[in-house]
Amino acid sequence: MNDGFGHDAGDRLLIEVSDRLKRCVREQDLVARLGGDEFAILIEEGSARADMASTVAQRVIDALQEPFEVSGHRTRVSASIGIAHCGWTGADADSALMRADIAMYHAKANGKNQFVHFTDEMQQGVLHRLDMESWLREALAESQLCVYYQPIVTLGQRKVEAVEALVRWRHPTLGLLAPDEFLDVAEETGLIVPLGKQVLRDACAQIRLWRERYDENLIVSVNLSAAQLRDESIVDALALVLTEAGVAPEALMIEVTEGALIGDVRGATAVLESLSALGVTIAIDDFGTGYSSLSHLQLFPVDVIKVDKTFVADLCGGTEHSMLVRSVLAIAREFGLQVVAEGIESEEQEVQLRRLGCDYGQGYLYAHPVPASGIDELLGLTPALSVG
């Protein structure tokens, strides 16, 4: 409302919603606005009406279902409601609100216009997150994070042109953890910023060695997440890492997904343009899975497209995906971009991709992600040269 019709309209809507909420409760109950679009209702109930909260919650959902007329605009809202019962001993307002909050997130995740009662299991999920966060802090401090590398090769010749840096966590008790087990928490907590810096530092130190010993044109590709793109100091930080490692910006490619670009398009454009001006190569990762792919190619200074592995996986089965890959390649030619096909697992896929005119590929067919020493082996170097 604020963005579309101005703050006056937003304020009017809040007042209208408050009025409807008040009509859902009794005189002695409390309705409060916590901030933003969050409200709290406190209902004191005797043991006789144990589930009064559910009744009121349903009433609220029904009451908000009717459209609102605000400053000449007709609009609809939905509510997600979390319910916490304060019957337990030692109940206090903070923990009641926290429990209601946790339940509300479950209601939201279930698809809005719902109410959900807090359960102890929900608390456990949150505790696990908290554990994860403090473990991750420890991991950063104690260098438990390491970087694996996966080659990007020319299709056919299979010459290694680049390596993608993929973070791993050597957890002292859980073993080697893949990024999908901890990156969400890292993103949510902002720990992705120091984590990303560490990956970048390792990757740059490593590429310097490989460039000296193997191929002076070898490139290392590093993934940047949305949070990193929003961090204004990223450009300076990245330039500093390159200088400290004694690596030319041309040795570095960064990969961003389409998802990371939407949201703050202007900020993302500014960051990518500065990186591009430095001489860093920019790749769009998981291409084809996000929104408005084509407009991104015009907005952002893109050099490389990485076709998502789902399209490569189905390449030999149906015609639809090969059409998509064909179109991506045609677009890439039009824009003067390089294309890397991800997730190549079979010879058949490689043959098909070459036939479609794709030049580069990455996947288990060539190599799994491995520690730096594994890449040394692949490049015919002695492992002693690796850092980390």
Which of 9, 104, 160, 196: binder of ligand C2E (CB under 6 A)? 196
| CB atoms closer than 10 angstroms to residue 130 | 12
Q: Which residue has the tokens 């709290």?
A: 40
Does position 309 interact with ligand C2E (CB under 6 A)? The reply is yes
Closer Cβ to ligand C2E, 255 or 350, answer by number: 255
Interacting span for ligand C2E (CB under 6 A) from 122-130, 161-169, 231-239, 320-328: 161-169
Does position 343 interact with ligand C2E (CB under 6 A)? The reply is yes
Pairing relationship of beta strands 160-171 and 219-223 according to DSSP bridges: parallel
Site string for ligand C2E, 216-245 (x = CB under 6 A): -------xxx--------------------
Total number of residues binding Ca ion (CB under 5 A)? 5
> Which of 198, 296, 292 is closest to 256 using CA atoms?
296
DSSP 8-state symbol, 144: -
Of residues 240 through 279, those in contact with Ca ion by CB under 5 A are 255
Give the H or E element holding residue 235. helix 234-245
> Which of 122, 41, 118, 116 is closest to 85 using CA atoms?
118
Cβ neighbours of residue 381 under 8 Å, at least 6 residues apart? 210, 213, 214
Q: Which amino acid is at 123?
A: Q
Closer Cβ to ligand C2E, 82 or 288, answer by number: 288
Question: Between vectors from CA 95 to CA 89 and to CA 96, what angle results, nearest 5°?
Answer: 80
Binding partner of residue 199 among Ca ion, ligand C2E, none, CB under 5 to 8 Å per kind?
ligand C2E
CB of 281 to ligand C2E, least distance (A): 15
Which of 150, 206, 322, 349: binder of ligand C2E (CB under 6 A)? 150
Closer Cβ to Ca ion, 107 or 183, answer by number: 183
Which of 167, 252, 297, 307: binder of ligand C2E (CB under 6 A)? 167
DSSP 8-state symbol, 110: T
Which of 161, 202, 286, 376: binder of Ca ion (CB under 5 A)? 286
Closer Cβ to ligand C2E, 104 or 344, answer by number: 344
SS3 318: coil
Of residues 4 through 23, those in contact with ligand C2E by CB under 6 A are none
Does position 364 interact with ligand C2E (CB under 6 A)? The reply is yes
Question: Between vectors from CA 47 to CA 44 and to CA 50, what angle results, nearest 5°?
Answer: 80
Closest residue to ligand C2E, judged by C-beta, is: 363
Give the H or E element holding residue 194. helix 192-213
Total number of residues binding ligand C2E (CB under 6 A)? 24
What are the phi and psi torsion angles at 93 (to 5°)? -60, -40
Residues 229, 256 contacting (CB under 8 angstroms): yes
Interacting residue ranges for ligand C2E, rule: CB under 6 A? 150, 165-167, 178-180, 183, 196, 199, 223-225, 255, 285-286, 309, 343-345, 362-364, 369
Residues that bind Ca ion (CB under 5 A): 223, 255, 285-286, 342
